[in-house]
């Protein structure tokens, strides 16, 4: 297989989406649809990628980032005109794969198969076709016998041509020299007044080039998304595809129809995912875990034998044999050790919790470094913000923090120290000490009768 580059068309507005967001940025589960196309191009072996942007180009470029090159189609003059905007990217010896940014269900193995067929047959261009019982709206692939003749768009097709059920998927691979040469002869003499990329195939054929056709085995790969209804259909296909992959690799999904897992997520065998979970981003979950129900985990690492119940985690790390929840919230840069208990209505933010510690309920730990085997009483707060700056708390091993304690950072609690319930701690506590920071109780007998309250 010869090497190839990819051009992805992502300049359209997508008016039928009825949205302020550019069409290719609408998400399938947890990623913009154009990201799927980029990822599968890379998986197929593309050496470089150029994305053609147009409508709200700054937003599209910001979302995609710097892993690709960009071309700008400032005026929407057709697919052929869009590919032309790749400019110098089209020059060279590598083949050019052309894809649409609104086809997120495409698979890398299909694109690799296309590139291999194109190279093996010595084609100047190869197009992917599919057979549809209802081909309305698609360009028709017209053959002379078994050989390619032309592609006719719906609005330019005769009644006889409209009866053809073999349609164009919008996926092609060109020899770069053949494509660049065809652009010199491309016109907009059609019903739309646009420069159709499809016309380059007929130009290449008439110039003596060889045009190949690869018929798709799975038509769902080439479903283009033009509305929120089609977005929902594609999401169902992708969700089932991803969930099937995990179940075949030893993960138990108790209710696959009610479980959403992002494409980049990794999950170990014998982990149980309960209903209502949303697992996304670069999350990695180990083996023998129980996740859910109704948990959301984003770009986090969960090691082995962890239980997460009805909780939210974002950019967090959970080590082996730890339990989280219910109703816990682990915010970015939370690092939790082994055999830790993070209980109900506990929030952890930008903190390290070492092995064996228990933060059982109704507690906030922010900007803190917590040692081993610490016990947090109910209602503890690390007071980390003074209105202008944030400060850290440091809590040593085997500390016992009484309920309703406020630790006003910056403060350090020495190993094996205690705080009395209801204390507001503003000074460091030495090791093995008991800190009491509250007013002595005073009872005023008969106060209600005397005051008439």
339 is a catalytic site residue: no
Q: Could you give the residue range(s) of every CATH 2.160.10.10 domain in the chain? A: 250-435
- Check if the beta carbon of residue 49 is closer than 8 Å to that of residue 64: no
| DSSP per-residue string spanning 64-77 | H-TTSEEEE--S--
- How buried is 428 (Cβ within 10 angstroms: 0-12 exposed, 13-18 middle, 19+ buried)? middle
Q: Which regions of the chain carry the CATH code 3.90.550.10?
A: 4-222
Rounded distance, CA 343 to CA 329, Å?
A: 10
Q: What is the pTM of this model?
A: 0.91
Catalytic residue (one of 26, 118, 246, 361): 361
Token pair 């009872």 in the structure block, residue: 443
Contacts of 379 (CB under 8 A, 6+ apart): 362, 363, 403, 404, 405
d(CA 69, CA 145): 40
CATH H superfamily, domain 4-222: Spore Coat Polysaccharide Biosynthesis Protein SpsA; Chain A (3.90.550.10)
The tens-digit pLDDT sequence of the chain (453 residues) is: 779 999 999 999 889 999 999 999 999 999 999 999 999 999 999 999 999 999 999 999 999 999 999 999 999 999 999 999 999 999 999 999 999 999 999 999 999 999 999 999 999 999 999 999 999 889 999 998 889 999 998 888 898 999 999 999 999 999 999 999 999 999 998 878 899 999 999 999 999 999 999 999 999 999 989 999 999 999 999 999 999 999 999 999 999 999 999 999 999 999 999 999 999 999 999 999 999 999 999 999 999 999 999 999 999 999 999 999 999 999 999 999 999 999 999 999 999 999 999 999 999 999 999 999 999 999 999 999 888 999 999 999 999 999 999 999 999 999 999 999 999 999 999 999 999 999 888 898 998 888 887
Q: Tell me, what's the pLDDT at 450?
A: 87
Q: Please determine, looking at this structure, whether the domain spanning 250-435 carries the CATH number 2.160.10.10.
A: yes
pLDDT value, residue 2: 78
Structure confidence at residue 153 (pLDDT): 87
For 155, 422, 423, the CA distances from 440, given in Å and listed in that order, are 87, 11, 11
């Amino acid at each position: 297989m010869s090497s190839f580059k990819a051009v992805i068309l992502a300049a359209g507005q997508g008016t039928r989406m009825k949205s302020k967001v550019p069409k290719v940025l609408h998400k399938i589960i947890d990623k913009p649809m154009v990201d799927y196309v980029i990822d599968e191009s890379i998986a197929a072996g593309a050496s470089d990628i150029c994305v053609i942007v147009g409508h709200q180009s700054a937003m599209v470029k910001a979302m995609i980032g710097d892993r690709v090159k960009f071309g700008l189609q400032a005026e929407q003059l057709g697919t052929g005109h869009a590919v032309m905007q790749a400019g110098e990217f089209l020059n060279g010896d590598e083949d050019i794969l052309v894809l649409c940014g609104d086809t997120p269900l495409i698979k890398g193995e299909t694109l690799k198969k296309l590139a291999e067929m194109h190279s093996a047959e010595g084609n100047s261009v190869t197009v992917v076709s599919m057979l549809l019982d209802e081909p309305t709206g698609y360009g028709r692939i017209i053959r002379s016998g078994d050989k390619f003749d032309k592609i006719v768009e719906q609005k330019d097709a005769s009644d006889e041509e409209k009866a053809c059920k073999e349609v164009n998927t919008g996926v092609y691979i060109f020899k770069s020299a053949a494509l660049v040469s065809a652009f010199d002869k491309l016109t907009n003499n059609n019903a739309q007044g646009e420069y159709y990329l499809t016309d380059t195939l007929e130009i290449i054929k008439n110039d003596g080039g060889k045009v190949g056709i690869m018929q798709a085995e799975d038509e769902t790969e080439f479903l283009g998304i033009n509305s929120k209804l089609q977005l929902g259909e594609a999401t169902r296909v992708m969700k089932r595809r991803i969930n099937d992959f995990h179940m075949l690799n030893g993960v138990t999904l108790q209710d696959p129809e009610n479980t959403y897992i992002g494409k980049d997520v990794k999950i170990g065998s014998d982990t149980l995912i309960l209903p209502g979970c949303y697992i996304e981003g670069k999350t990695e979950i180990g083996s023998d875990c129980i996740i859910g129900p109704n948990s959301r985990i984003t770009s986090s690492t969960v090691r082995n034998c962890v239980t997460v119940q009805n909780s939210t985690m974002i950019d967090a790390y959970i080590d082996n044999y730890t339990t989280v929840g219910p109703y816990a919230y682990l915010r970015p840069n939370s690092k939790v050790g082994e055999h830790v208990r993070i209980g109900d209505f506990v929030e952890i933010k930008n903190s390290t919790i070492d092995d064996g510690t228990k933060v059982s309920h109704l507690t906030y730990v922010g900007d803190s470094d917590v040692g081993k085997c610490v016990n947090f009483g109910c209602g503890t707060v690390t007071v980390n913000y003074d209105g202008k700056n944030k400060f850290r708390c440091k809590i040593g091993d085997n500390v016992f923090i009484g309920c309703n304690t406020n630790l006003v950072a910056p403060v350090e609690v020495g190993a094996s120290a205690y705080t009395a319930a209801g204390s507001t701690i503003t000074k460091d506590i030495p090791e093995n000490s008991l800190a009491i920071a509250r007013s002595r109780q005073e009872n005023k007998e008969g106060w209600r009768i005397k005051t008439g309250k």
